[in-house]
Amino acid sequence: MELQELLFDHGFQRLGISSQGCVDHPVVITEAVCNPLYSRQMMSELLFECYQVPKVSYGVDSLYSFYHNKRQGWPCSGLIVSSGYQCTHILPVLDGRLDARNCKRINLGGCQASMYLQRLLQLKYPGHFAAITLSRVEEILHEHSYVAEDYKEEMQKWRSPEYYENNVHKMQLPFSNKLLGSTLTSEEKQERRQQQLRRLQELNARRREEKLQLDQERLDRLLYVQELLEDGQMDQFHKALVELNMDSAEELQSYIHKLNLAIEQTKQKMLQAEVSVEVDVVDSKPEIPDLDPLGSEQSMEDLESVNEFEPLFPEEQPEVEKPVTTVQPVFNLAEYHQLFIGTERIRVPEILFQPSLIGEEQAGLAESMHFVLDSYPKEQQEKLVQNVFLTGGNVMYPGMKARMHKELLEMRPFQSSFQVHLASNPVLDAWYGAREWALEYMNREEGWITRKDYEEKGGEYLREHCTSNVYVPIRLPKQAPRMTEAAASSKAPGIATNQGSEQV
């Protein structure tokens, strides 16, 4: 209730109403279909005790939307299909009043559709996982999705490359095409190149030392085996050759000679590196195009992975000084950050009719409508289907009305009539309807709960009206009538006798 109080304070402040002490204004509140009495009790307690409102009215948002559009000459009966952010309701209205006994709820709405589309796109574009946020997904859902009149037939169309090219939608994700290093001065660039060169020199010197130590250890081992041959210990000598995977003494001499050459070469390179003069990068090489830090790090990793014996300095390998033409990679950064919305345009809204697409084990919208209609006799079914009313933000997909018409055509008897209507503004019609109802019933007692009603009948009390829930009062279990003193005294000995017989 603390959060609800914060919401009320914010709403009253935005309306220019002081919420300190007393809010001397009637309040119209929307509540869920078949709202639990405890929830209404807590809301009434907050409004009457904390804000001291004079009177309160409770109604259902989809019924307010139906009330607003009913002024266009529609019948008082109808079948309301309300699909919002969290869930979808099917509400039968007979003669202007909600039939709460046959309402049905589907736990699917705009929230589940957004999460499903987000999961599809993140699996399709794992490189843009963080960029595919829920807010961007909701924008894609509202602007690019539509309901297929025949889902299987529409999916077959998407298998055609030509149809895909003509109907796929592209969305551009934000990106930056500016190189981070482009703001550096020439002196800073020169200093950075020299630092990179010094880093390479230090790295290669360390690698040569490690390789020199490793080669020296191998040479010492081979010389030890050679001493076994010179001392005439042939058994140990042949055993050592097997461990070294060698066949003869000549092969051993060959390995010793190669290791000696490698050690001498490494020592010469280390000596040259110590006495070499630092190379002027600008004079000895053509200017290298500026790279961003990520690119520089990648270049360093590539240079660090070269063979230890390969010279890295101009005096060791003159052919490296030949000017090289810089080739710019052919890569369009903008195209890399594009999302292609194809079959997702129809797969996501389809979960309303096939919840199994996201693993939900519940009936879809068409099946639930058929179940609700089957609860009535044929005469009442005819009244309901003459005004199938669609409201709520989740019915704004293009093609929704045509799909509902197709579903009703399949479930209704041959050549029977029905009408499907879409709310003039599925999102705001509930507010418009509540405003019109409040203006029309402001001076009536119908639908309003006063403070006196709250104190006498409890916070769960509801005055019914044309856009409200049905009030079901709390029924306490009947208590057993109290026994008279004479009856109690007449039964007392019998009870004592029974207890005594049980003890005996």
265, two tokens: 């070469």
Q: Which is nearest to 460 in space by CA: 21, 48, 2?
A: 48
Q: What is the 3-state secondary structure (H, E, C) of 208-238?
A: HHHHHHHHHHHHHHHHHHHHHHHCCCHHHHH
H helices present in 276-420, as ranges: 281-284, 293-304, 333-336, 344-347, 365-373, 378-385, 400-411
Scan for tokens 């060791």, then name that residue. 316
From CA 375, how far away is CA 362, in angstroms rounded? 18
391, two tokens: 């409201």
DSSP string, 363-379: --HHHHHHHHHTTS-HH
pLDDT for residue 413:
92
Scan for tokens 């499907």, then name that residue. 420
Helix, strand, or coil here: 29? Answer: strand
From CA 487, how far away is CA 480, in angstroms rounded? 15
Scan for tokens 């950050």, then name that residue. 337
pLDDT for residue 474:
77
Whole-prediction pTM: 0.65
Residue 341 bridge partners (DSSP) = 169
- 208 contacts 266 by C-beta, under 8 angstroms: yes
pLDDT for residue 76:
86
Classify the C-alpha dihedral 314-317-323-329 as positive or negative: negative
- What average pLDDT values come out for the chain (504 residues) when binned by 10 residues? 89 87 91 93 94 94 93 81 95 92 94 96 93 93 95 95 94 74 71 87 87 88 86 85 84 87 86 64 44 43 42 41 48 85 96 94 94 94 94 95 95 92 94 94 92 92 92 74 55 42 35
From CA 328, how far away is CA 456, in angstroms rounded? 83
- 75 contacts 421 by C-beta, under 8 angstroms: no
From CA 120, how far away is CA 124, in angstroms rounded? 6
From CA 119, how far away is CA 239, in angstroms rounded? 63
pLDDT for residue 235:
84
pLDDT for residue 485:
53
From CA 12, how far away is CA 18, in angstroms rounded? 7
Scan for tokens 């950075």, then name that residue. 192
Long-range CB pairs of 380-384, under 8 A, 24+ apart, other chains included: 380/94, 382/416, 383/75, 383/77, 383/94, 384/77, 384/78, 384/79, 384/92, 384/94
- 13 contacts 52 by C-beta, under 8 angstroms: no
The terminus-to-terminus CA distance of the chain in angstroms comes to: 60
Distances in Å between the alpha carbon of 317 and those of 263, 264, 271, 278, 294?
20, 19, 16, 15, 28
Q: Which is nearest to 441 in space by CA: 127, 39, 59?
A: 59
Scan for tokens 């169309």, then name that residue. 157
Q: How far from chain centre, in Å, is Cα 74?
A: 40
